[in-house]
């Protein structure tokens, strides 16, 4: 019997046509973009040779500025210069801490409960701010790679909840980017190291950034990165080290010196410099100028280390906890990867080395490692490396649940569950004749509703009148490979089914994204219509390409001649419509052909699964029956 040849799924149809893919590290303080060129992941610089783009956006009537130029406006026009928007992603006004809301920005309540910032050009959302940063990076990518980006991978912190992930996706949509996948930052770092060295075994990613600490345990085997557990502290980072250093310097200044706003700013900058100096030196001197008076002194590494000792110990404790969650001993860890500028602090390295009994890896710049890993993953996802075996199996970072009686949370999916995942739970009515039920979706580890993050609320209406407890409401949670959630609820008891799809309340509605896209194109003098036609055509072409290839491969084996003819006809119709300019018709025909080919696609997938284990099954699995 002749063997049927099948290509690897994901393989580009024309192997010579390389696609432009990039990885983007959208950071709190700095952002950067990287891409695979000549087989190597590289960060992409701007015209001035700068790699890091400060995550700062300045809004003014004469235009929007991003990065270093925006940063220079910070002192003159602080209200309109937005920094650290990442901290506000997916947040409501009520989520802000007192220090945040007392800060320099004027916060206003936005649509769907999301916080917005009042600027000279009107209120802007953190999603819009992030989209400006993404646009700026995309332009840099286009200039470096010589054309429009076909797809990007954007990294997010592992502890990001659903609302924050959704907001990140929205920002990318607003920037007109095709997001291949949202990737957890620690996983990206592992990819950056793991692919080159081909290491196997358990890897700990120790990510200490400016404001957050994130630790993850991954298992690498045969090209598969499996995230076993994640943990950390969302409010611990290098900024805290700077603060401790500032306190130290302050304590060395004479008591009568009053630290006003300007001196405090100077102090923080000096503190940061001292911290950096102590990475290589064992002592450093500082100098502060205040009212014609110069304050100076000497800081030893020893004194600094004593000042931050408890903070560093906290990071080790979090690492310990993650290992415990996965029931792994510290000596079983094969390698430790350092991510984030704050991991340059010698005490951090020393404590990590002491705890794990081995020196952490640090060959790759800890500021770039995440973007580099994202670039590698983007290259694989876009189909540039058809033979690549790498696969990332990620987990849900925080538990998902529903509100039940008494303000308690019933967890449906526990944290660290591999994604994609689907779970269902049945609930019932509380009162006789109850016709509606409030579904309140929450995320977090605590038991009380008030301690968890509220993701969405919606009502299931039209429950037929029944005595209390007779109705059966089935709620289904589905989390996709990006870690994004959709919830449906339906009443099963009487066969009457009502279902609703929700999007977490802190994201943007699809209409809002469309609206913002339209207005931003108008702003950029770009023809929105032309863009939409282009996208519709691309979708149609993608389907034609994929279905034609599938038919050539499996059409004879899986379909009857009639079925095959139907799909061939559909292909012809779509190809014809796609060459026209009617956006609505192209979309409608694409949808029609997609539906018509659904059963065929499902059959191919089933076949794929059977073939995956073919060959090894009979001999290895059923030894008792075959011998």
Partner 1 sequence: MNFNQNFFEIFQLTPSFDLNLDVLGERYQTLQRRVHPDRFVGQGAQAERLATQWATQINEAYRTLSDGLSRAIYLLSMDSIELEENPTLSGAFLMEQIDLREDLEAAELSGEASVVLKFMNRLKNHMAEAEICFQKAHTDGAFEEALQVVYRMQFLKKLMLSARAAEDKLLGY
Q: Does 383 bind partner 1 (CB under 8 A)?
A: yes
Residue with Cβ nearer partner 1 (40 or 321): 321
User: Looking at 46, 207, 240, 394, which residue is catalytic?
Assistant: 207
Residue 185 is among the residues annotated as catalytic for this protein: yes
* The one catalytic residue among 132, 150, 185, 589: 185
Using only C-alpha atoms, the chain has a radius of gyration, in whole angstroms, of: 27
Q: Is 151 in the site for partner 1 (CB under 8 A)?
A: yes
Q: Which segment (49-57, 117-125, 449-457, 610-618) binds partner 1 by CB under 8 A? A: 610-618
CB 551 within 8 A of CB 570: no
Give 120-124's long-range contacts (Cβ < 8 A, gap of 24+). 120/59, 120/60, 120/61, 120/79, 120/80, 121/59, 121/60, 121/61, 124/59, 124/82
70 secondary structure, DSSP code:
H
Q: Is 86 a catalytic residue?
A: yes
Query: Binding of partner 1 at residue 398 (CB under 8 A)?
Result: no
Which lies closer to partner 1 via its Cβ, residue 70 or residue 192?
Answer: 192
527 binds partner 1 (CB under 8 A): no
The rounded distance, in Å, linking the Cα atoms of 139 and 149 is 9
Q: Which of 397, 68, 93 is nearest to 229 (CA)?
A: 397
Number of residues that bind partner 1 (CB under 8 A): 53
445 touching partner 1, by CB under 8 A: no
Site for partner 1 in 47-106 (CB under 8 A): none
Site for partner 1 in 9-28 (CB under 8 A): 9-10
Q: Give the residue with the Cβ less far from partner 1, 29 or 35.
A: 35
Does the protein bind partner 1 through residue 376 (CB under 8 A)? Answer: no
In the chain, the N- to C-terminal Cα span, in Å, equals: 27
Residue 103, C-beta contacts closer than 8 angstroms, at least 6 positions apart: none
CB of 221 to partner 1, least distance (A): 7
Distance, CA of 427 to CA of 15 (rounded, Å): 51
Question: Between residues 13 and 530, which has the closer beta carbon with respect to partner 1?
Answer: 13
Q: Which residue has the tokens 């004469």?
A: 62
Give a three-class secondary structure readout of 428-487.
CCCCCCCCCEEEEEEECCCCEHHHCEEEEEEEECCCCCCCCCCCCEEEEEEECCCCCEEE
Coil vs helix vs strand at 173: helix
Question: Whose Cβ is closer to partner 1: residue 533's or residue 538's?
Answer: 538
Helices (H) and strands (E) in the chain, counts: 16, 26
Catalytic residue status for 351 = no
417 touches partner 1 by CB under 8 A:
yes
Distance CA 555, CA 571 (A): 14
Instruction: Tell me whether residue 576 is one of the annotated catalytic residues.
Output: no
**Of 481, 496, 499, 530, which lies in the binding site for partner 1, with binding defined by CB under 8 A?**
481
Residue 389 interacts with partner 1 (CB under 8 A)?
yes
Catalytic residue among 65, 86, 135, 275: 86
What is the set of active-site residues? Answer: 25, 86, 185, 207
Binding residues for partner 1 (CB under 8 A): 8-10, 151, 178, 180-181, 221-224, 317, 321, 380-383, 389, 391-393, 417-422, 478, 480-481, 539, 542-543, 546, 594, 597-598, 601-602, 605-606, 608-609, 611-613, 616-617, 620-622, 624-625
């Amino acid at each position: 019997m002749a063997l049927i040849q099948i290509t690897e799924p994901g393989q580009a149809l024309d192997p010579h046509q390389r696609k432009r893919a990039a990885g983007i590290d959208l950071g709190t303080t700095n952002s950067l973009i990287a891409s695979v060129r000549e087989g190597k992941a590289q960060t992409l610089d701007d015209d001035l040779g700068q790699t890091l783009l400060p995550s700062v956006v300045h809004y003014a009537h004469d235009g929007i500025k991003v990065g270093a130029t925006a940063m220079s406006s910070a002192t003159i026009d602080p209200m309109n210069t937005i920094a650290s928007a990442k901290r506000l992603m997916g947040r409501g006004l009520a989520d802000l801490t007192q220090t945040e809301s007392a800060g320099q920005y004027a916060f206003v309540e936005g649509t769907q409960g999301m916080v917005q910032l009042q600027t000279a050009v009107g209120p802007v959302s953190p999603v819009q701010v992030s989209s400006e940063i993404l646009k700026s990076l995309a332009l840099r990518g286009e200039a470096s790679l010589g054309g429009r980006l076909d797809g990007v991978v954007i990294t997010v912190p592992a502890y990001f909840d659903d609302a924050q992930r959704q907001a990140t996706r929205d920002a990318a949509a607003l920037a007109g980017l095709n997001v291949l996948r949202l990737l957890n930052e620690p996983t990206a770092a592992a990819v950056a190291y793991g692919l080159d060295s081909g290491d196997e075994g358990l890897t700990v990613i120790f990510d200490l950034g400016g404001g957050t600490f994130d630790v993850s345990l991954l298992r690498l085997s045969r090209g598969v990165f499996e995230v076993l557990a994640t943990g950390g502290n969302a409010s611990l980072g290098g900024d805290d080290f700077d603060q401790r250093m500032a306190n130290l310097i302050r304590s060395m200044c004479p008591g009568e010196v009053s630290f006003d706003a300007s001196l405090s700013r100077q102090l923080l900058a000096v503190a940061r410099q001292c911290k950096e100096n102590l990475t290589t030196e064992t002592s450093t001197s500082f100098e502060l100028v205040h009212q014609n008076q110069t304050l100076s002194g000497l800081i030893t590494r020893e004194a600094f280390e004593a000042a931050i000792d408890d903070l560093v110990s906290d990071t080790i404790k979090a690492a310990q906890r993650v290992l415990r969650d996965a029931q792994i001993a510290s000596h079983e860890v094969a390698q430790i990867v350092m991510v984030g500028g704050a991991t340059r602090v010698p005490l951090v390295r020393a404590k990590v080395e002491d705890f794990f009994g081995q020196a952490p890896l640090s060959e790759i710049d800890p500021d770039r490692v995440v973007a580099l890993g994202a670039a590698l993953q983007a290259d694989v996802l876009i189909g540039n490396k058809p033979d690549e075996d790498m696969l990332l199996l990620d987990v849900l970072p925080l538990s998902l649940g529903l509100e039940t009686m008494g303000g308690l949370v019933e967890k449906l999916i526990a944290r660290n569950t591999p994604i994609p995942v689907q779970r269902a739970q049945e609930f019932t009515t509380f009162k006789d004749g109850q016709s509606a039920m409030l579904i309140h979706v929450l995320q977090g580890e605590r038991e009380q509703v008030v301690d968890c993050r509220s993701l969405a609320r919606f009502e299931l209406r039209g429950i037929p009148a029944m005595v209390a407890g007779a109705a059966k409401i089935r709620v289904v949670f589905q989390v996709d490979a990006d870690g994004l959630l959709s919830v449906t609820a339906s009443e099963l008891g009487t066969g009457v089914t009502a279902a609703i799809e929700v999007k977490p309340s802190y994201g943007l509605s699809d209409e809002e994204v469309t609206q913002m896209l339209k207005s931003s194109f108008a702003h950029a003098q770009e023809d929105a219509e032309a863009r939409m036609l282009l996208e519709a055509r691309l979708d149609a072409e993608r389907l034609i390409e994929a279905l034609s290839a599938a038919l050539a491969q499996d059409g004879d084996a899986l379909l009857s001649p009639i079925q095959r003819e139907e799909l061939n006809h559909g292909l012809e119709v779509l190809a014809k419509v796609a060459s026209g300019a009617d956006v609505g018709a192209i979309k409608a025909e694409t949808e029609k052909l997609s539906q018509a080919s659904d059963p065929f696609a499902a059959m191919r997938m089933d076949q794929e699964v059977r073939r995956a284990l073919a060959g090894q099954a009979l001999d290895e699995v059923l030894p008792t029956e075959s011998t």
